[in-house]
Amino acid sequence: MRACTTLVAAAVAVVAQQPPPSAYNVEWTTPTPEPGMSSDKRPTYQGAMPLGNGDLTALIWANVSAGGIQFSLSSSRSMSSYTELFKMGMTQVLLSPNPFTSSSLFNQTMDAATATVWLSMGGTAATPAATIAAYIDANANVLTLDISSPAGTSYNVTVNTFSVRPAQFTNHTVVWECSMGWNDPDVLLGAVPSGAGFQTGTAVIYHRNNLTSEGSFV
């Protein structure tokens, strides 16, 4: 009995030493100019933080010069027929007036306990000019932005596609074969069809995999 009691006490002591989720928070107090540029001349977003629920994922970053936040969305269902995942556009939410102009305060934090990205803009650490909390629902494919800002603040939401023109794929390996084809651009609907189940003010973007002249999808 004495040996068994000792083992239980030791196990409890090990569990008690585990750090809280907040120990894994990531906090940045200076913004990263976006976008950057990779060695092969492609845009990079090194100031972005990830969110996701296992299906819907997002990259979130601050737009200090314009005063707001930007994010890209992707999903396990956004896949071309050659099994490559791709992002379905980029959304920008800007505040006017720009809260960053009131001071140089900047804080972007990934809260590990709640899987939330917090952005504090302008003002002081105790009373920032504006705050944005971004998170993805664990049980639904929905990205939510909770914005706190002074009275009189206006918001502008812009959705941009990443694929604006057809792209040609040459000798792209598809597990066991190579193929050639054209990938059509993403489509952003200017007017959402009535009766389609979308709320008023909804922006809809979609991508379609088209057939090649050889009869295979790309």
Say yes or no: 108 and 34 in one domain. Answer: yes
What pLDDT is recorded for position 154?
A: 92
Residue 6 lies in a domain: no
Residues 102 and 63 in one domain: yes
Q: In the prediction, which pLDDT does 6 show?
A: 53
Task: Compute, in degrees rounded to 10, the torsion defined by CA atoms 108, 111, 117, 119.
Answer: -30
Q: Are residues 107 and 154 in the same domain?
A: yes
CA angle 133, 155, 34 (to 5 degrees): 65
In a domain, 15, yes or no: no
Q: Mean pLDDT of residues grouped by 10 in the chain (218 residues)? A: 52 66 92 82 85 92 90 81 72 91 86 95 89 93 91 88 56 42 60 69 70 49
Q: What are phi and psi of 211, to 5 degrees?
A: -80, 145
Per DSSP, the three-state class of 165 is: coil
Q: Which domain holds residue 102?
A: 21-160
Number of domains comprising the chain: 2
- For residues 36 and 126, state if they share a domain: yes
Q: pTM of the prediction?
A: 0.73
Token pair in block for residue 179: 């193929």
Residues 100 and 139 in one domain: yes
Beta strand 167-174 with 154-160 is: unpaired
Does 64 lie in the same domain as 27?
A: yes
What is the Cα–Cα distance from 190 to 185, expressed in whole angstroms?
15
5 contact partners, CB below 8 Å, separation of at least 6? none
